[in-house]
Chain A
Amino acid sequence: MSILTYIAGWPLLAALALVVVPRNYRVIIRAIAVLATLISAVLAVKMFAQFVPGANGFQFEQQIPWVESLGISYHVGVDGLNVGLILMGAIVAFAAALCSWEIQTREKEFYILLLLMTGGILGAFASLDLFFFYFLHELALVPTFIMIGVWGRGEKKNYATFQITLYLSIGALIALIGLIALYLQSGANTFDIPKIIEHAKTNPLSLNAQNFIFPLLLFGFGILVSLWPFHSWAPLGYGVAPSPTAMLHAGVLKKFGLYGLIRIALPLLPQATQSWAHVIAWLCVGNILYVGWVAMRQKDLNLLIGNSSVAHMGFIFLGIASLNLIGVTGAVLIMVAHGFLAALTFALSGYIYKQTGTLQISELGGLCRKLPFIGTALLMAAMAGCGLPGFANFVGEATVFFGSWKAFPTVTVIALWGALVIGGIYMTRAIRNILHGPLPEKWNSLVDASNVWRKLPYALLIVSLLVFGFIPKLLTEKINPDAQKIVALATGNLVSATAPGASPLNFVAQNK
């Protein structure tokens, strides 16, 4: 059994176990959930440490035939592209389980759904089979719906619940048609991604087929990633969701569509990717600029964070659209970094909401005095969000800009402006209004995160951001060789091995 099966399997197994635990054993229910996510996080760290950068092919592979007549098999494995994502997903899931203390009604159902979501998405990232890739991701749809509906907050709850569910299903179904068409057109008669890629090297898909399938995957996955103009579900959905759900969804699940584009669309549909790259680049301006402006106008902290997280997706799309080694490496870096960051910000806003009962920025103020730990954490998250060096986001964004400069100079300038100026404005403004200034009297009774267990999830996420911010080599040395392969397939030049000057490590190092 591959370690990946255990990483995704423990949460699912724990979800099954929780079904039979009586609902009044609250401590046990919580302990099982936290323990299962802890085990999978520890295993993910172990896997990350054992991963050999640049090794040929996939590592920790496992394959079990499932439906032989259709060529579907349970096939998991990691390379540089998903090893960081799985680590990030497992750590965020553990943090989300720890943050779930704020759920105090019907805990049993909540933890079952949370674990189901966790196992599904970790399995989807590990999956190397088109069918399971889709199948495991869709496991999260029903839990998202019920979690937001039952434990969500605010008046717009019902509307947001249906909006997020329907929007995500449309995206997923469009992508499904694209994936089925890809399976049929490839002629490989298998859903196994490495085999299809191998088959496509000798029998590339016809241009017509590529131009039919690529938009389906782009817009299908694009909706799942909140690509502008299909982003409107995200801020509202995250705004009303309970914070553990928002952490997992914004942090981990949202990366699924991006990962799908890099893993499936780029290597298999190279010509279509090249002709659509301009479209992607200009759409991501919508994310970075338009949604950034929208974020500036928000009066609710959660909506601000939600919009800012949509804006960050633009950088990843820009990295993918640049179609070169540096850009794609940067895109994967941001995917990991943003996962930690989104989880951290939603966890913090959840804590503030739990304490104050409101997230209206105008009602808050001076909170740093009463909540020194949470306030400092929020400050660090905001700084990471505007791309301060030292945090993993900086490394990713800088890399993406270096990569995209050559391909799309205009877009890069606009994006830089969006990242540095707009991001800076709304983040610092939020910090000033929430943490600094006079403390309204009604907030005198607020309590800071007191014990280790309460502080642990926030500390864990900040440490992860800092570790990858100061030692990006941990990730880049893993991503680089495999990003190289993907870029070679997508652009058609089979440049062998990594040219030393092209390594993003060099200029990241120079920048420090």
Chain B
Amino acid sequence: MNSSLIMLEISVIGLGLVLMLADLFVPAERRRFIGYAAIVALGVLLITSLSGNGSCGQFGTAFGGMFINDGLSLLFKQLFIIAAILVLFMAAEFSDKLAAGSVAEYYSLTLFALAGMLFAASSNDFTMLFVSIELITITFYVLVSFQRSKIQSLEAGVKYLILGALSSAFMVFGIALIWGTTGELNFTKLAAVAPQFADSQMFLLGVLLVLVGLGFKIAAFPFQIWAPDVYQGAPTPTTAFLGIGSKAAGFVLLLRVLFTAVPSVTAHWANLLIVISAITILYGNLCAIPQRNLKRLLGYSSIAHAGYLLLGVAALSASGQSALMYYLAGYVFTVMAAFFVITLVMRHLPSEDISGLAGLHQRSPLLAATLTIAMVSLAGIPPLAGFFGKFLLLKALIDTAHLTHNHGYYCLAFTALIGVVISLYYYFGVIREIYWGKNPEDLSPIEISSPAKLSLAICLAGIFWIGLFPDTVLNITNLAATALGK
């Protein structure tokens, strides 16, 4: 066994424990600065992982094949760490809205969720999949209801708890059925025996139930009901982490299950994936139109984006998987930028109504431009990250349509197109509010602290870099996609 492979996960958990201890010794008013120490530590971990010397740079398996480090896990781990760093920055800005001095606790819970995501990226076994999902979900129950004095936050926490527990139950049931019929939990070993069970209803039901569980995590139709409520009620940094981290973890597990564990089953489910993806796109986009609460709007938009990401799964090709990862990489920076602006602009407002953005272009041109760029990138317009991602997804989809002659793919491509046009309406509605919204109540300039400026700069650089210079990231995602096929 090669336990040095999990050094990254151990360091993150250790860091979380250190933060909890630091909480005891640092006075309440200075606790937000603990977050900056955590950011520096995560930055070091990220740089070591990028340079290839860290534990996730060495490829191999550990714990009897349960844990795997490959190109796929490396890419996702880097995304998770970047997301966590930005969430910690955001939490530091948000700390005055949390109960006095509790921010250090918030930091360490974020790190535990991060550890869960890192394990998810490396799962190669249903046990590992379940444990990592639970680590993420249970931490998020606390993170969602962290504003204990705010009734919406508690409500969101309870909703997430009930639906999360339900999805876990589905997933365990599915895993039990898979294990009961095949006797295997390991993805690699399962792939070898799965074709023999292609006619077993029990086995197929098991796989379907696992997909239901993962569908909850990524908020795909018909398991998307929780997303808008939870997004609206949760503290903004939690919403951001939920929208990125939890969704990306769901997708990496989905990729592993569908393309490593049961590729023989997946090949027959193209039409199911097409239908789910199409309905998810339409549902998310159509329901977002009437929303006035910005976080709720982004909740629906995150459902729509789950649908776009599912295009990459439905394409059933390496280029589709690569496009999915590329899209996620752009999505991380874009959504973080959007929630960062929401945190800074709306932390002193009673609710996150869109009208609170009126006059933002006068109060802070930087924040106005950042939110505009984030919305434009989410809508998928050049030269930003969202465009190249959608371009790759559509290309993969039309490629599959061309090769398989399945007209469902063309219909899916046009559904995605309709979705994009609908989404332009509400994303541009946000831009309208920023630049020519009526009756701004407050025109005082917004102070932006230098750490916040730094993280906004990171987000913007990421959005433009992924949109304008796709070569580097595309090579990484292509490499990661080849890891899946093995």
Query: Which A residues lie at the B interface, using CB under 8 A?
Result: 66-70, 106, 109, 131, 134-136, 138-139, 141-142, 145-146, 149-150, 158, 161-162, 165-166, 169-170, 173-174, 176-177, 180-181, 183-185
Interface string of B406-429 (1 = CB under 8 A from A): 000000011001001100110010
Q: Contact at B383–A135, with CB atoms within 8 Å?
A: yes
Main secondary structure on B side of the interface with A: helix
5 contacts between A and B (CB under 8 A): A69-B471, A136-B382, A141-B381, A176-B391, A177-B398
Q: How far is the CA of A185 from the CA of B399 in the complex (A)?
A: 9
Q: Determine which of B361, B382, B414, B428 lies in contact with A165 in the assembled complex, contact meaning CB atoms within 8 Å.
A: B428
Residues from chain B with Cβ under 8 Å of A66 in the complex:
470-471
Q: A139 contacts B383, CB within 8 Å?
A: yes
Q: State A158–B425 Cα separation when bound (angstroms).
A: 12
Residue of A nearest to B432 (CB): A149
A67-B474, A169-B421, A173-B420 in contact; A138/B382 too (CB < 8 A)?
yes
Q: How far is the CA of A169 from the CA of B372 in the complex (A)?
A: 17
Identify 8 new A-B residue pairs, CB closer than 8 A, beyond the known A68-B471, A69-B474, A180-B395. Answer: A67-B474, A69-B478, A142-B381, A145-B431, A146-B431, A161-B432, A169-B421, A174-B417
Q: Determine the chain A residues whose CB is within 8 A of the CB of B471 once the complex forms.
A: 66-69
Please give, as numbers and ranges, the residues of chain A lying within 8 Å of B431 by CB-CB distance: 142, 145-146, 149
Selected contact of B398 from candidates A136, A138, A173, A180, CB within 8 Å: A180
Residue of B nearest to A136 (CB): B382
Interface size class of B (residues with CB under 8 A): 20 to 34
Does B425 lie within 8 Å of A162, measured CB to CB? yes
The distance in angstroms between the C-alpha atoms of A131 and B391, with both chains bound, is 10
Please, which residues of chain B bring their CB within 8 A of the CB of A170? 417, 421
Q: Contacts of A69 on B, CB cut-off 8 Å?
A: 471, 474-475, 478
Contact with A along B359-395 (1 / 0, CB 8 A): 0010000000000100010000111000100010011
Output the nearest chain B residue to A172 by Cβ-Cβ distance.
B381
CB pair B402 A176 closer than 8 Å = no
**Contact of B436 with A by CB under 8 A:** yes
Bound complex: CA A68 to CA B417 (Å)? 26
A149:B435 contact, CB within 8 angstroms:
yes
Docked pose: A67 CA to B474 CA in angstroms: 8
Specify which of A138, A161, A166, A183 is in contact with B381 (CB 8 Å cutoff): A138
Q: Which residues of A contact B475 (CB under 8 A)?
A: 69
Asked if residues A181 and B398 are in contact (CB atoms below 8 Å), the reply is: yes
Distance in Å from the Cβ of A121 to the closest Cβ of chain B? Answer: 13
Cα-based distance from A169 to B382 in the complex (angstroms): 12
Inside 8 A of B417's CB, which chain A residues have their CB?
A: 170, 173-174, 177
Looking across the interface, which residue of chain B has its beta carbon closest to that of A209? B402
Residue in B387, B394, B470 whose beta carbon sits within 8 Å of that of A177 in the complex: B394
Which residue of A142, A145, A161 has the most chain B CB atoms within 10 A of its CB atom? A142
Tell me which of B376, B420, B436 has the highest count of chain A C-beta atoms within 10 A of its own C-beta.
Answer: B436
Nearest-neighbour CB distance to chain B for A159, whole angstroms, equals 12
Known A-B contacts A66-B471, A67-B470; the reply to A166 vs B413 at CB < 8 A is no
Inter-chain CA distance A162–B436, complex, in Å, is 13
Residue of B nearest to A131 (CB): B391
A70: chain B residues at CB < 8 Å are 395, 474
Give Cα distance in the complex from A161 to B471, angstroms.
35
Contact of B470 with A169 in the complex, beta carbons under 8 Å: no
Please tell me if the beta carbons of A184 and B398 are within 8 angstroms of each other in the complex.
yes
Once the chains are docked, how many angstroms separate the CA of A252 from the CA of B382? 19
A residues less than 8 Å from B399 (CB atoms): 184
Q: How far is the CA of A142 from the CA of B402 in the complex (A)?
A: 32
Are A166 and B395 neighbours in the complex by a CB distance under 8 Å?
Answer: no
List, in ascending order, chain B residues with CB within 8 A of A149's CB: 431-432, 435-436
Return chain B residues, CB-CB under 8 Å to A136. 382
Partner of A166, one of B361, B398, B402, B421: B421
Closest CB pairs A-B (n = 8) = A138-B382, A135-B382, A173-B417, A180-B395, A150-B436, A150-B435, A67-B471, A180-B398
A146 to B428, CA, bound (A): 9
A residues less than 8 Å from B372 (CB atoms): 142, 146
- On whether the beta carbons of B402 and A146 are closer than 8 Å, the reply is no
A180 to B33, CA, bound (A): 49
Interface centre among B387, B471, B478, by most chain A C-beta atoms within 10 angstroms, is B471
